[in-house]
Structure 1
Amino acid sequence: MGKRLQSKYKINRRLGENLWGRPKSPINRREYGPGQHGQRRKKPTDFGIQLSAKQKLKGYYGNIGEKQFRRYFDTATNRKGDTGENLIELLERRLDAVIYRAKFVPTVFAARQFVNHGHVTVNGKRVTIPSYTLRDGDVVQVREKSREIPMVLEATSSAERDVPDYVEVDNSKMSVKFVRGPKLADVPYPVQMEPKLVIEYYSR
C-alpha cells in the first residue's frame, strides 16, 4: 500500500502522460521522466511500446500489482469475445473503479483506501475489498456516517470529471448502480489506452 501511494506521484512523469487528466499533475510542468536521466529521449522498441501500454493501464487503476493484473489478463483471454475489450470490462468492474467513476472520491488511490476503510456497501453488505468484482445491477452505496467526509463532499461537487453512462449515480442516496460492462470506447480515459498492445506484451 505504501509503495503504491509513494509511486503515484511519479507514474505520470515516468510514462510521460497525464494519466488521470488532473490539472495538478507534475507532467503539466515537466514532460520528461523523473530522475537525473529523465530528459534523455530514446526511440522506443516494440517491446518498450507494449510495456508502456501495460504500465499505463496498470497505473491508471491505482498501480495494480503484476500478479493481479496478469490474472485479469488470463481471465479476459479465457472469456468469449475480444480479449482487449474483456480486459477493460474486468478492470471497470472493480469496486474501487466504480467508486471513482461515481465521483465519490477524487482519485483511484483514494477509492482503494475508501473501500479498505469500510465506507461502502454492495447490495446492503459492507465490502472492504477494492478489487471486488461487481455484477450488472449491483448497487454500491456510501455508508451514512461516511457521507460527510470532506473528501467525499468535495469530489461529488467537482466538475473535473463526467460520470459514464454504464453507471447510474443517485447523489441524494450516495449510491451508484453498475448497469453494464463497458466497451473500451465507453470508458472516459483522459489518455489513449491500447489493450491490444497489452495482449501483444503477454503473448510474446
Structure 2
Amino acid sequence: MTKRTAAKYKLDRRMGENIWGRPKSPVNRREYGPGQHGQRRKQKLSDFGIQLRAKQKLKGYYGDLTEKQFRRIYTEAERRRGDTGEALIGLLERRLDAVVYRAKFVPTIFAARQFVNHGHVLVNGKRVNIPSYRVSEGDVIEVREKSRQMGLVLEAVQSSERDVPEYLEVDHSKLTAKFTRTPALSDVPYAAQMEPNLVVEFYAKN
C-alpha cells in the first residue's frame, strides 16, 4: 500500500466517516479510529474539538493540505466580501487538482495532485504542473493528448461512483472540462457533510 493510500484510509478512520464516499473505505467495515486505542468509546467533543474536526476534515478532503496552505486560503477567503465559509469552499474548488478530480479525469484527489505534478494537464492549451493553481471561470482544462490512454484516466472516466458537478462542462470523449462558475457550498457534491462555518469559528478563536 502506498503512503498516500495509507494516509487517505487513515484519515477516513480518524474522522469516523467515509469523506470521499469510496466503496473501499475502511469506515464501511469498522467505524472506530486507527491505532490501538481506536476502539475506545468516543468522548463527547468540546466546541473547540468540533471546530478542529471540521477543519481537519475539510483540509484532508482536498488531499490533506498542509496547515500553512490551508491557512493561506482561509485568510484570502476572510478578506473577500460576503460569507467567509462560502468563499473558502469556492477557493478550494478552484484549485486545479480539485477541478481535475471533479471532472473525473482521475479516481482520487491524491491522484489528481500527482497527475498535475507530472505535467499531464493543460489549462487553456498550456501545461500547468502546479496542483494549487487557481482556475478562473471560463478556463478550459484538458488531459494532455499523450496521457489520455493512461489506466487511471480510463478507470476514472468509466467509474459510476460519482457524478460531475454542474459547475463543470465535461466532455469525456475529448477529456476536456470547462470551469463555468465558482460553486457555492450547496453545489459541491461532498460525500460527507462539510461545515465551513465551523472552520471560520475555529480560526476566529485561534
| Class of the TM-score when normalised by the shorter of the 2 chains | over 0.9
User: After superposition, what is the alpha-carbon deviation per residue over 1:10-39, rounded to whole angstroms, capped at 9, x for unaligned?
Assistant: 000001000000010010111000011111
1:185 corresponds in structure 2 to 186
Q: CA deviation at 1:161?
A: 0.3
2:163 corresponds in structure 1 to 162
* RMSD over aligned Cα atoms: 1.1
The residue matched to 1:141 in structure 2 has which SS? Answer: strand
Q: Give the ranges of 4+ consecutive aligned residues of structure 1 lying more than 3 Å apart after TM superposition.
A: 2-6
What is the identity percentage for the equivalent residue pairs of Structure 1 and Structure 2?
A: 70
The residue matched to 1:81 in structure 2 has which SS? Answer: coil
Indicate yes or no: 2:16 matched with 1:13: no
Which stretch has the larger CA shift, 189-198 or 37-46? 37-46
TM-score (norm 1): 0.97
What amino acid is the match of 2:121? V
Q: CA deviation at 1:8?
A: 1.6
TM-score (norm 2): 0.96
Distance 1:191 1:9 in 2: 15
What amino acid is the match of 1:198? V
Aligned residue pairs, count: 203
The residue matched to 1:181 in structure 2 has which SS? Answer: coil
Query: Following superposition of structure 1 onto structure 2, how do residues 73-84 of structure 1 map, counting pairs within 5 Å?
Result: 73-84=74-85
Q: CA deviation at 1:171?
A: 1.3
The residue matched to 2:169 in structure 1 has which SS? Answer: strand
Q: CA deviation at 1:137?
A: 0.3
Distance 2:83 2:62 in 1: 20
Distance 1:3 1:141 in 2: 27
CA contact (8 A) 1:4 1:63 kept: no
Distance 2:160 2:64 in 1: 25
**Unmatched tracts of structure 1, length 5 or more:** none
**Unmatched tracts of structure 2, length 5 or more:** none
1:141 corresponds in structure 2 to 142
Distance 1:31 1:9 in 2: 12
Q: CA deviation at 1:7?
A: 1.8
The residue matched to 1:177 in structure 2 has which SS? Answer: strand
